[in-house]
Amino acid sequence: MELTTIWFILIAVLWIGYFTLEGFDFGVGMLLPVLARDDTERRVMINTIGPVWDGNEVWLLVAGGATFAAFPEWYATLFSGFYLPLLLILVALIVRGVAFEYRAKRDDDQWRRRWDAAIIVGSLLPSVLWGVAFANILRGVPIDSDLEYVGGFFNLLNPYALLGGAMTLLLFLTHGALFIALKTDGEIRHRARALALPVGAAAAVAAVLFLGWTQLETGSVASAVAFAGAAAALLAGLAVATQGREGWAFLGTFVAIGLGVAGLFLALFPDVMPTTLTSGTSLTTTNAAATAYTLRIMTVVAVIFTPLVLAYQGWTYWVFRKRIAVHHIPAAVGAER
């Protein structure tokens, strides 16, 4: 197998890790005003992702860095053509991270409400825009013969891409609701499990429409198998959620998102960014790749450090595996005064 193909697969794996992990903490952030009835319940929800949300974002950093090093033409064209949506995602992630750290710095309801709004918006924007961005990568964008993006921002807001954004939004909401049901106890747990079912049904409809459209346009046999597996996992997860088996239900959405992203990369290969111009040139794993020497060095580094990172993150989830509830939350700083 060529190194360019190996690195395409590795980048796909990094994006699978990012969406399956960051997806549920985006969902938790968006559900703050829906599931929590007071500040203590909001703190319960935030604490479910408190030890892991920043580790989940490492997958995005590594995916971006790997793309820059392994496929510099892909990175350059993607970030120049998708500059505005990617900038919005970056700003949202920064504000969201600051909000997690600062909301408890002052015992003031208005202060906390403002940072909670930052968490909600900072979770909502990436949830939609990542779907829009990936849908456009699959659909193709105007790239000329010099491998440069020649479209505008509104080229990205097409029906297919907007459907992709709706799909990721609904999937992350479902994923987040099931994670909350898995990680909490008491009333929040019951509300989250009840909400996951109708939102999950809407996510299933959006996923079938988007993935079916993708399969008809650019799909392969391999992507069809992955999409079918994703649909089956999502439906199975929703089915066991009705029986109160939150662990299996969360595993169902986890596998559904993972297989869905895998199917998107299978549908894309060997392109990494197809063009919609008849006179243009699509970016592929061949013409967008770095030199063979660069890829060999990167492969050695990945073989050494990837298992270490996976082991550390797995240990983190194991340490913080227990449920939390309202009675575990101490009084807010200054609340006794």
With a cut of 60, say whether residue 290 has pLDDT above it. Answer: yes
Confidence of residue 334 (pLDDT cuts 50, 70, 90): very low
**Mean pLDDT across the stretch 298-318?**
89
Residue 187's Cβ-count burial label (10 Å; 0-12, 13-18, 19+) is middle
Distance CA 91, CA 122 (A): 8
Structural contact between residues 151 and 128, judged by C-beta atoms closer than 8 angstroms = no
Confidence of residue 200 (pLDDT cuts 50, 70, 90): very high
Distance CA 192, CA 195 (A): 5
The residues near 73 (Cβ < 8 Å, ≥ 6 apart) are 147, 283, 287, 288, 289
Provide the pLDDT for residue 309: 85
Confidence of residue 116 (pLDDT cuts 50, 70, 90): very high
Q: How many CB atoms lie within 10 A of CB 140?
A: 18
| pTM of the model as a whole | 0.92
Cα–Cα nearest to 140, from 261, 285, 280: 280
Provide the pLDDT for residue 209: 95
Cα–Cα nearest to 128, from 26, 209, 198: 26
Structure tokens belonging to residue 10: 């590795």
Provide the pLDDT for residue 143: 87
Measured CA to CA in angstroms, residue 289 lies from 3, 74, 265, 283, 297 at distances of: 10, 8, 16, 9, 14
Distance CA 189, CA 171 (A): 19
Residues 143-197: pLDDT tens digits?
Answer: 888 888 887 777 788 999 999 999 999 999 999 999 999 999 889 999 999 999 9
Q: Per-residue b/e over 4-30, b at no fewer than 16 CB within 10 Å? A: bebbbebbbbbbbbbbbbbbbbbbbbb
Provide the pLDDT for residue 196: 94
With a cut of 70, say whether residue 251 has pLDDT above it. Answer: yes
Measured CA to CA in angstroms, residue 9 lies from 3, 248, 261, 268, 310 at distances of: 10, 27, 12, 11, 17
Residues 29-59: pLDDT tens digits?
Answer: 999 999 998 888 999 999 999 888 888 998 9
165: Cα within 13 Å, side-chain hemisphere: 17
Distance CA 82, CA 117 (A): 26
- Range with the lowest mean pLDDT among 133-147, 187-201, 320-334? 320-334
With a cut of 80, say whether residue 295 has pLDDT above it. Answer: yes
Distance CA 165, CA 265 (A): 17
**Mean pLDDT across the stretch 327-333?**
68
Confidence of residue 332 (pLDDT cuts 50, 70, 90): low
The per-residue pLDDT of the chain, averaged, comes to: 90
Confidence of residue 277 (pLDDT cuts 50, 70, 90): confident
Provide the pLDDT for residue 155: 78
Distance CA 271, CA 161 (A): 18
Tell me the sheet residues that pair with 149.
Answer: 143
With a cut of 70, say whether residue 337 has pLDDT above it. Answer: no
Distance CA 23, CA 21 (A): 5
Provide the pLDDT for residue 336: 35
